[in-house]
Amino acid sequence: MPEEYDVIIIGSGVGGTGIGSILAHAGLKTLILERNERLGGACSSYIKEGFTIDVACHYFSHCMKGRFGKILKRSGLVYKKDGKLGSDYIQFNSDLASKGRVKFKGRPGYSQMGFSTQSSSKSTPKPAESSDLDEKKTGFKKAEQKELISVIGNMLQMSKKKIRELAAREIDLKSWVNEITTNKKVHDFVAMMCGTFFTIPPRLSSASEYIICLQETVFSNDTGYPIGGSIAIPTAFAQGVLKNGGDVRTNANVTKIIIENNRASGVIANDEEIRGKIIVSNAGIKQTVLRLVGESYFEKSYVQRVKDLMPSYSAIAYKFALSKPLIKEDFAFVQLTQTKFGPLADKGEEKKAPMAASYLMPIPSNMDPNLAPPDKQLIIVGTAAPPFVKNWKRWADIYYQDILSFYPELEDLVEFVDITTPVDITNYIGKAGGPVEGTALTPSQSGKRRISSELPIEDLFVVGDTAGTDTHGVGTQLAADSALKCADIILKKYNKLISTLPRA
């Protein structure tokens, strides 16, 4: 007889491990199946020559005060001390809100990343230091500085009612900014911020969703990084599954979801049949519908809707292991920004390989010194990349030289550099094109318009950054919100099943 579980979860990303931890704590016998040898999907890490290196380029907008903390709390993995949540399963360095900087190419020094407010209320933002937008550092003239402050101020002060009105208009971020200013430098700066959050340009991004995420990030004052690298997050959630009698398996490749009488009833993993009352896929909604289940089990209109979902751009990341520190300040990350922006290549323009508008450069070993050997430094430099490019070596070489133009001394410090392209990400996470967000946060794909986690087959759900109506957040926060809200759907729908389960 095949094994049987209450819940089988395909994939161990933040969404999969997050919902697994919650459901296991609720009493459901839970199994997580991960096809790779390490947990986490794109939110994972590996060890090489004494360095602990993230698979992708990560910096987290929320830690314990956000959705990670909510998952841990609902999983019974937290304690409260001095009014703050803590956990024996994971620790964050979350005192990093003031440690981000922007470096404009060819200009001296750094500008502080982001804006500060005088209190927890939504007061008018201002630069955290008087010299933040100094023309010598940024190229912004006084009038342009005022316009940029006006745009960011409007974002941070916008009421929930006005955000809902923006969502109803389905307006993109570029069009909304145009209602305030048409200044190109201001638009370029917004494009840099938007690319860091959503990995798509403002013309494609939902204005309302971007403002929600910016407000959450600024006012939570909880930006940070997990001790032990990105893999520490899914590892902590997986501990919640194991603590409550569940099972977590790596190198377990699911090739099929079993459908019987329009119900999901199990999976085939490594040619083995495993039965489950509830199947939750963290493999992406397209992968789930089109490959793991198959188009024939769905109505044509639903299949077409899934096919039409637009992913975000992918990314290319450079993981630099350095013999000594390049960044001697205690910065958590630096946003490397061009003085002149150009559009990312459109399909059919692969040969252009234009300069990236900006690069996000976290310094993980500044946030957790144990991620690099003593007196050495780990930095990761990532930028958005279109998924259609075939000759990634050429693009990688051009971007590498561009990164060196910000820090010419970098090359002499490199012990080794690992480069991750969209092809590598696709092979690792299994999502075509290697998108940073599987379903991009466009006006028609965000908020209440986002496709549901509950599929039109009984007992089948999808979590992660590809599905979840009314889910919000940047990157892993979006996946975590999907886990939280899908868990609510399941716990409500299967309340009778849960009430009959034996309690430890």
> What pLDDT digit, counting tens, does each position of 152-163 carry?
999 999 999 999
82 within domain boundaries: no
CATH of the domain at 23: 3.50.50.60
Q: Do 301 and 444 belong together in one domain?
A: yes
With beta carbons less than 8 A apart as the criterion, state whether 337 and 357 touch: yes
> What pLDDT digit, counting tens, does each position of 229-279 carry?
999 999 999 999 999 999 999 999 999 999 999 999 999 999 999 999 999
Q: Do 350 and 378 belong together in one domain?
A: yes
> What pLDDT digit, counting tens, does each position of 25-41 carry?
999 999 999 999 999 99
Q: Do 135 and 215 belong together in one domain?
A: yes
With beta carbons less than 8 A apart as the criterion, state whether 303 and 190 touch: no
Q: Do 350 and 397 belong together in one domain?
A: yes
Task: Work out the pLDDT band at 350, boundaries 50, 70, 90.
Answer: very low
411 within domain boundaries: yes
Q: List the Cα angle 10/462/432 in 5-degree steps.
A: 75
Strand-strand pairing, 333-337 and 100-104: parallel
With beta carbons less than 8 A apart as the criterion, state whether 443 and 206 touch: yes
Residues recorded for the chain? 504
| pLDDT at position 138 | 76
Task: Work out the pLDDT band at 98, boundaries 50, 70, 90.
Answer: confident
67 within domain boundaries: no
| pLDDT at position 194 | 93
Task: Indicate the residue among 202, 220, 238 that finishes a domain.
Answer: 220
Task: Indicate the residue among 220, 248, 282 that finishes a domain.
Answer: 220
Cα separation, 456 vs 139, whole angstroms: 53
Amino acid at 310: M
**Which residue stretches of 244-299 are H helix?**
285-286
| pLDDT at position 499 | 72
77-101 in b/e form (b: 16+ CB < 10 A) is bbeeeeeebbbebbbbbbebbbbbb
Q: Do 260 and 215 belong together in one domain?
A: no
Number of C-beta neighbours around residue 214 at 10 A: 21
Cβ contacts of residue 221 below 8 Å, gap of 6+? 65, 97
102 within domain boundaries: no
pLDDT exceeds cutoff 90 at 497: no
Q: Do 421 and 448 belong together in one domain?
A: no
Cα separation, 409 vs 480, whole angstroms: 39
Q: Do 207 and 238 belong together in one domain?
A: no
Q: Do 282 and 319 belong together in one domain?
A: no
**Burial of 400 from C-beta contacts in 10 A (0-12 / 13-18 / 19+):** middle
List Cα–Cα distances, 466 to 37, 285, 393, 463, 471, in angstroms.
23, 6, 29, 7, 10
Q: Where on the phi/psi map is residue 492: left (φ > 0), alpha (ψ -120 to 50), or beta?
A: alpha
| pLDDT at position 13 | 96
Percentage helix, strand, coil, to 5, in the chain? 35, 20, 40
44 within domain boundaries: yes
Q: Do 276 and 356 belong together in one domain?
A: no
| pLDDT at position 17 | 98
> What pLDDT digit, counting tens, does each position of 388-414 carry?
777 788 888 989 999 999 999 999 999
Cα separation, 114 vs 99, whole angstroms: 10
Cα separation, 246 vs 20, whole angstroms: 9
| pLDDT at position 349 | 44
Residue of 184, 195, 112, 102 lying closest to 144 (CA atoms): 184
The tokens describing 472, both together, are 């919000």
**Burial of 305 from C-beta contacts in 10 A (0-12 / 13-18 / 19+):** middle
pLDDT exceeds cutoff 80 at 337: yes
pLDDT exceeds cutoff 50 at 224: yes
Q: Do 274 and 381 belong together in one domain?
A: no
Cβ contacts of residue 49 below 8 Å, gap of 6+? 321, 415, 416
Q: Do 368 and 400 belong together in one domain?
A: yes
With beta carbons less than 8 A apart as the criterion, state whether 29 and 6 touch: yes
Instruction: Give the distance, in angstroms, between the CA of residue 82 and the centroid of all CA atoms in the same chain.
Output: 30
| pLDDT at position 341 | 60
Percent of the chain with pLDDT over 90: 72
| pLDDT at position 390 | 75
107 within domain boundaries: no
pLDDT exceeds cutoff 70 at 92: yes
pLDDT exceeds cutoff 60 at 198: yes
Q: Which residues pair with 336 in a beta bridge?
A: 103, 359
Instruction: Supply the DSSP symbol for 411.
Output: G
With beta carbons less than 8 A apart as the criterion, state whether 5 and 29 touch: yes
| pLDDT at position 389 | 76
| pLDDT at position 437 | 92
| pLDDT at position 60 | 92
Cα separation, 430 vs 36, whole angstroms: 10
Task: Work out the pLDDT band at 465, boundaries 50, 70, 90.
Answer: very high
| pLDDT at position 178 | 97
Q: List the Cα angle 297/24/497 in 5-degree steps.
A: 65
> What pLDDT digit, counting tens, does each position of 113-125 carry?
554 444 344 444 4
Rg (CA), the chain: 22
| pLDDT at position 393 | 84
Cα separation, 388 vs 346, whole angstroms: 9
Instruction: Give the distance, in angstroms, between the CA of residue 170 and the centroid of all CA atoms in the same chain.
Output: 23
The tokens describing 76, both together, are 């019974």
254 within domain boundaries: yes
> What pLDDT digit, counting tens, does each position of 423-445 carry?
888 888 888 888 999 999 999 99
pLDDT averaged over the chain?
90
DSSP-based three-state secondary structure for 189: helix
> What pLDDT digit, counting tens, does each position of 58-79 carry?
889 999 999 999 999 999 999 9
> Which domain range does residue 194 map to?
112-220
pTM score, whole prediction = 0.93
How many folded domains does the chain comprise?
3
| pLDDT at position 53 | 97
189 within domain boundaries: yes
Residue of 270, 222, 263, 229 lying closest to 34 (CA atoms): 270
Q: Do 446 and 305 belong together in one domain?
A: yes
Cα separation, 331 vs 102, whole angstroms: 10
Task: Indicate the residue among 380, 404, 429 that finishes a domain.
Answer: 429
